[in-house]
Amino acid sequence: MSHRVRIGMVGGGQGAFIGAVHRIALRMDDQFALVAGCFGRDPENTRKTGEELGIDPARCYDTWEQMIDQESRLPVADRIEAVSIVTPNHMHHRPATAALKAGFHVICDKPLCISMEEALDLQKITNETGKTFALTHNYSASPMVREARERVTSGKIGTVRKVYVEYLQGWLSEKLEESGQKQADWRTDPTRSGPVGALGDIGTHAHQLLEFITGDRLTSLYAILDTFVEGRALDDDDMILFKMSEGATGTLCSSQVCYGRENGLKIRIFGTRGALEWDQEHPNDLKVTEEDGAVKIIRTATSAAGEASASLTRTPAGHPEGYLEAFANIYHAFANQVRGKNSSLELPFPGIEDGLRGIQFINAALESNKENCWVDVSEGDN
């Protein structure tokens, strides 16, 4: 096990969803050993989760503070090297800060945190400590998303003019939070989700994806944040117009009240010499429209895909790979950086700057919605 990165987890106990996803991802390439954890606020939950995972009971801690303190006291060869944070949004900043200050690398679920103050603090501490910080915007690690980025940034579709991105779900079309469903409960609670609901949960994925593929940044936006389900405290539907620094314009829609939609994350990019389209529910396909109007589908693990895409592809052609594999690609790249191994990819995983951009995006959207006007994204940080 000496080659594996020793990692501890905060959150992700019984009844959680995303913790299990992270554990599959960190095990997929045998790059990590999960050796410690505080898997929930209830010590009994942590004990049972640790028992199921085969973790030494002495390293299943009642609190995340205890885990970071006790692990930092162990011999260097035994203590954890990294912390995976898979809690609700309001519990990202404090464990991440403590882990970084204790000398541990951090991989954290998105969004980065719930305020600009927290985001700037994490950026400062990450830079000061020099530790690796990864944010699991997993879709950016899909092979065909990487293919799309390479085609856009290399100029194959010319200058980008229009970008349309949407992330549509329907699971919160009813007031599911009143049923006791855990995932709905915290996502609709401002004390745990932060100041936004759907925008933070899935809108930030759409935002990160469009900036990642285009290699460009939003400069201003006009946002309408709606709450369609009566009595819900946070937005469940968002519509945003935006402008980008290189002149492109577009729309971003995120909704969790679209009946029948599952995880409809789609992006379309139109340039002066071609266009691209990707749908995460069909992740192996990238639709390419060429300058002469010819339309073709680029598939993973085929000779039509480039080297960057191939570096993230895990299975032979024709085998679907998507959500879990993309998470694993981020964990693999994170492990390599922790071990000091260079990646052949530019931007091998989303980091602290992506997290900061996400909070700027959220704040700008909140201000725009409140003031009913266009807002500069770089100024959405108050």
CATH code (residue 20): 3.40.50.720
Say whether both 290 and 177 belong to one domain: yes
Burial 208-230 (b: 16+ CB within 10 A, else e): bbbbbbbebebebbbbebebebe
Shared-domain flag, residues 167 and 251: yes
With respect to residue 110, please indicate whether it lies within any of the assigned structural domains.
Answer: yes
Confidence of residue 83 (pLDDT cuts 50, 70, 90): very high
Q: Which tokens hold the place of 246?
A: 């290189």
Whether residue 24 is found in the same domain as residue 154: no
Residues 216 and 292 in one domain: yes
Q: How many alpha carbons lie under 13 Å from residue 213 in its C-beta half-sphere?
A: 32
* 85 compared with 320, residue with greater pLDDT: 85
Whether residues 60 and 127 fall in one domain: yes
For residue 322, the model assigns a pLDDT of 93
pLDDT at 3: 84
Which of 65-69, 266-270, 340-344 is predicted least confidently?
Answer: 340-344
Distance (Å, whole) CA 101 – CA 80 = 14
Residue 344: inside a domain: no
Q: Total domain count for the chain?
A: 2
The single-letter code of the amino acid at 129 is T
Question: In terms of DSSP bridges, do strands 5-10 and 32-38 run parallel, antiparallel, or are they unpaired?
Answer: parallel
Distance CA 265, CA 261 (A): 10
Closest CA to 240 of 261, 256, 225, 260: 225
pLDDT at residue number 380: 42
Measured CA to CA, the distance from residue 286 to residue 263 in angstroms comes to 17
Q: Are residues 156 and 88 in the same domain?
A: no
The answer on pLDDT for 274 being more than 60 is yes
Q: With residue 105 as reference, give the H or E element that holds it.
A: strand 105-108
DSSP 256-305: S--TT-SSEEEEEEEESS-EEEEETTSTTEEEEE-TTS-EEEEETTSTTS
As given in the structure block, the two tokens for residue 74 are: 């162990």
Using the CB atoms, write b or e for 163-183: b if 16+ within 10 Å: bebbbbbebbbeebbeeeeeb
The two tokens of residue 312 are 């993230």
366 located within any domain: yes
Q: What phi and psi, each to the nearest 5 degrees, are found at residue 288?
A: -120, 125
CATH of the domain at 200: 3.30.360.10
Do 236 and 367 fall into the same domain? yes
The domain boundary, picked from 82, 111, 131, lies at 131
80 lies in a domain? yes
Percent of the chain with pLDDT over 90: 95
308 and 211 co-located in one domain? yes
pLDDT of residue 378: 78
Q: Residue 201 to residues 53, 205, 235, 289: CA-CA distances in angstroms?
A: 27, 8, 10, 31
pLDDT one-digit tens code per residue, 279-304? 999 999 999 999 999 999 999 999 99
Query: Is residue 94, in this structure, part of any structural domain at all?
Result: yes
Residue 2, pLDDT score: 56
Give domain status of residue 338, yes or no.
Answer: no
Quote the pLDDT of residue 23. Answer: 98
Does residue 331 sit within a domain?
Answer: no
149, 286: one domain: yes
* Sheet arrangement for strand 285-289: 295-299, 285-289, 275-279, 264-271, 160-168, 249-255, 237-244, 218-226, 375-376
Strands 32-38 and 105-108: unpaired
The residue from 79, 110, 131 where one domain ends is: 131
Look at residue 15 and tell me whether its pLDDT is greater than 90: no
Mean residue pLDDT across the chain? 96
Instruction: For tokens 């106990």, name the residue.
Output: 13
Cβ atoms within 10 Å, residue 192: 15
Q: What is the pTM of this model?
A: 0.95
> Does a structural domain hold residue 325?
no
Residue 240 banded pLDDT, cuts 50, 70, 90: very high
Is the same domain home to 297 and 236? yes
Indicate if 36 and 164 belong to the same structural domain: no
Q: Which domain does 269 fall in, by range?
A: 143-316+352-371
Shared domain for 198 and 302, answered yes or no, is: yes
| pLDDT at res. 344 | 85
Domain boundary residue, one of 71, 105, 131: 131
